[in-house]
Amino acid sequence: MNRPIEPLPTPPTAADLADLSALLRDAVEGGASIGFMLPLADAEVAAFWADVLAEVAANQRVLLVARAAGRLVGSVQLELAQRPNSRHRAELQKLLVLRAHRSRGLGAALLAAAEDHARRHQRSLVVLDTSASGNALGLYARGGYTRVGVIPRYATDPDGPLIDTVIYYKELSAA
Ligand SMILES: CC(C)(COP(=O)(O)OP(=O)(O)OC[C@H]1O[C@@H](n2cnc3c(N)ncnc32)[C@H](O)[C@@H]1OP(=O)(O)O)[C@@H](O)C(=O)NCCC(=O)NCCS
């Protein structure tokens, strides 16, 4: 596979911002439990990405994007822990691939790229949580993540019902 995965160039273009919004909306409307409820207002999506970009600018977050034919079709984030006792740790968040581009290895490629960037930020531990009924469980298991356990009724699906969440971690070896 030859798809570039890189930090979102800054300042982001209007086209990239529109693609990011479409990516988030596609995931939520596809049923992913990633923090949002349906119906999803455009202003809520724009506010989310504005917050993400502010944290990227503050070096507290990494935002990687994957492109196909120049358009953003996937993204992943690392929240870089800021507390003095936690600066070896990052939380992997919002691993997203457009529904039309799934099941071709892009999710796995984004996960590997996120780990590479975690190492670049001297982060040796990656933690994450994901829906127990979502479609990312196989990806994390194959990626070498240890399943810590399940928290029942942790969050809701975008259309309302409470769902369980699985917690994972991975200790990164030096590159
Ligand atoms: C989870 C997610 C990022 C995976 O993206 P993806 O690009 O489909 O990921 P991959 O293609 O690497 O792997 C997905 C599946 O396709 C399979 N696959 C990969 N390449 C393939 C290929 N060439 N042919 C057939 N199948 C393939 C993988 O084995 C994997 O199988 P699985 O369902 O048993 O896990 C995507 O489904 C998504 O955006 N979901 C919504 C958001 C979400 O829940 N994110 C995670 C929580 S934050």
- Determine the residue of 72, 104, 163, 164 to mutate for testing ligand 1's pocket, defined as the one with the most ligand atoms within 8 A of the Cβ atom: 104
- For residues 106 and 68, what is the distance between their CA atoms, to the nearest angstrom? 10
**Cα(135) to centroid(ligand 1), Å:** 7
**Cα(58) to centroid(ligand 1), Å:** 30
The CB of 155 under 6 Å from ligand 1? The reply is no
Angle ∠(96,90,98) on CA atoms, nearest 5: 5
Regions in the chain scoring below 70 on pLDDT: 1-3, 175
Q: How far is CA 91 from CA 22, 30, 38, 42, 62, in A?
A: 23, 23, 25, 26, 10
**Cα(85) to centroid(ligand 1), Å:** 33
Spell out the domains of the chain, with CATH numbers in brackets: 5-127 (3.40.630.30)
Give the per-residue pLDDT at 22: 98
Give the per-residue pLDDT at 1: 47
**Cα(82) to centroid(ligand 1), Å:** 30
Residue 165's beta-bridge partner residues? 131, 151
The CB of 139 under 6 Å from ligand 1? The reply is yes
pTM, full prediction: 0.97
Give the per-residue pLDDT at 48: 98
